[in-house]
């Protein structure tokens, strides 16, 4: 089974830019981006990022704001902050070559540590991600695999001499053939080893995970300035859109109205003459934001609107753009 899957991978692997290199830095960047981003979208972000920061030294020496700006649109900005912090840790030293060495870096979890150490250095550690979970659950017809079972099984199947290729082969099978809703079982190179296939109901494995309920978050935002320059504040690490910079936001607390939250925001900024511009909606994983956007006057420092912002923040500015016309008009 291992031989057949590896042969299939060598012949059918997608030609992705991070597969054309053994540079641990570029492999690492790709793995971080792909944690929460699909391959098609992630490829563009990856190419843009490594063009901006070709080496780990370039990344380590860059200001965090520049790194966040290069990351803009990719979402989950904690990934960019951790990537930057870890780059500073290793910029003066050789890259770690072991699973344990990677795991010691800021923001690097077991999956990324296993992926980078095995692909870049051949370290014998099996990866477990969503694709691997689905493939293993189907091979063994397990409906609710535990994390311990998954890691133990993956480690037991690992082809030590080709650790990186084997890890990628299992993930590639899950991404292109053993897909969640419509697996292409007739095309699978190892279907004769698959108990879920033999059962005739491969999509029964694994059982769907219970999704967390999407929570609605009501908030008000205040734009002080215009489309060119405006007041930007750094939000606390813990809280609404933690750690990101953008127009001031105030969450509408349970039992209060948006007007109360707006007055609290105006008071905090010593702002006045608030004018309602519109409402935007934006969904981020388990939260759905409904934000009332206002423009107001205040004696506050202004920053160019080209700084790194989240998609939600860009939507806030989009409301102002609709009112005032194109930024370049």
pLDDT digits (tens, 9 = 90+) for 21-61: 999 999 999 999 998 888 999 999 999 999 999 999 999 99
pLDDT of residue 14: 96
Asked if residue 252 belongs to a domain, the reply is yes
Whether 76 is covered by a domain: the verdict is yes
**Residue 196 main-chain phi, psi, to 5 deg:** -65, -40
Q: Are residues 110 and 199 in the same domain?
A: yes
Whether residue 306 is predicted with pLDDT greater than 90 in this model: the reply is no
User: pLDDT tens digits, residue range 191-244?
Assistant: 999 999 999 999 999 998 887 888 999 999 999 999 889 999 988 777 666 667
Residue 127's pLDDT band (cuts 50, 70, 90): very high
Residue where a domain terminates, one of 176, 204, 232: 204
Percent of the chain with pLDDT over 90: 80
CATH at 275:
3.90.79.10
Please give the pLDDT value at position 327.
39
Residues 167 and 77 in one domain: yes
pLDDT digits (tens, 9 = 90+) for 84-119: 999 999 988 889 999 999 999 999 999 999 999 999
Give domain status of residue 291, yes or no.
yes
- Which CATH number belongs to the domain containing residue 193 in this structure? 1.10.340.30
Is residue 329 situated within a structural domain?
no
Q: Residue 158 belongs to what domain range?
A: 2-204
**Same-domain pairing of 13 and 144:** yes
Q: Tell me, what's the pLDDT at 242?
A: 64
From 181, 204, 227, give the residue that closes a domain: 204
Q: Are residues 233 and 128 in the same domain?
A: no
pLDDT band at 284 (very low <50, low <70, confident <90, very high): confident
Residue 165 near residue 10, CB atoms below 8 Å: yes
Same domain, 65 and 143: yes
Residues 56 and 135 in one domain: yes
- The rounded distance, in Å, linking the Cα atoms of 9 and 173 is 8
Q: Is 167 a residue whose pLDDT tops 50?
A: yes
Specify the higher pLDDT residue, 189 or 208: 189
Residues tagged active-site = 31
The answer to the question of residue 209 being in a domain is no
Do 91 and 56 form a contact (C-beta atoms < 8 A)?
A: yes
Same domain, 172 and 60: yes
Chosen domain end from 157, 177, 204: 204
């Amino acid at each position: 089974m291992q031989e057949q899957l590896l042969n299939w991978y060598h012949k059918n692997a997608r030609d992705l830019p991070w597969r054309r290199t053994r540079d641990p830095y570029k492999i690492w960047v790709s793995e971080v981006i792909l944690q929460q981003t699909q391959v098609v979208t992630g490829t563009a972000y990856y190419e843009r990022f490594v063009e901006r920061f070709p080496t780990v030294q370039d990344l380590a020496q860059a200001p965090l704001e520049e790194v966040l700006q290069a990351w803009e649109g990719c979402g989950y900005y904690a990934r960019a902050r951790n990537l930057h912090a870890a780059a500073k840790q290793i910029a003066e030293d050789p890259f770690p070559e072991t699973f344990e060495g990677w795991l010691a870096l800021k923001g690097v979890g077991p999956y990324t540590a296993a992926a980078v150490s095995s692909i870049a250095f051949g370290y014998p550690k099996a990866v477990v991600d969503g694709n691997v979970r689905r493939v293993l659950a189907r091979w063994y017809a397990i409906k609710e695999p535990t994390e311990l079972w998954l890691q133990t099984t993956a480690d037991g199947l690992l082809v030590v001499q080709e650790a990186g290729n084997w890890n990628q082969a299992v993930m590639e099978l899950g991404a292109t053939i053993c897909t969640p809703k419509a697996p292409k079982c007739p095309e699978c190179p190892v279907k004769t080893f698959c108990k879920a296939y033999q059962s005739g109901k491969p999509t029964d494995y694994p059982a769907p995970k219970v999704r967390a309920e999407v929570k609605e978050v009501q908030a008000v935002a205040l734009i002080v300035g215009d489309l060119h320059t405006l007041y930007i504040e750094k939000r606390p690490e813990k809280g609404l859109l933690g750690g990101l910079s953008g127009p001031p936001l105030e969450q509408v607390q349970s039992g209060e109205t948006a007007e109360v939250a707006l007055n609290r925001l105006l008071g905090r900024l010593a702002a006045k003459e608030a004018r309602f511009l519109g409402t935007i909606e934006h969904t981020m994983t388990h939260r759905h934001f409904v934000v009332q956007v206002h423009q107001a006057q205040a004696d506050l420092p202004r920053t160019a609107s080209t700084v790194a912002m989240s998609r939600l923040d860009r939507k806030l500015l989009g409301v102002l753009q609709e009112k005032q016309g194109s930024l370049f008009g």
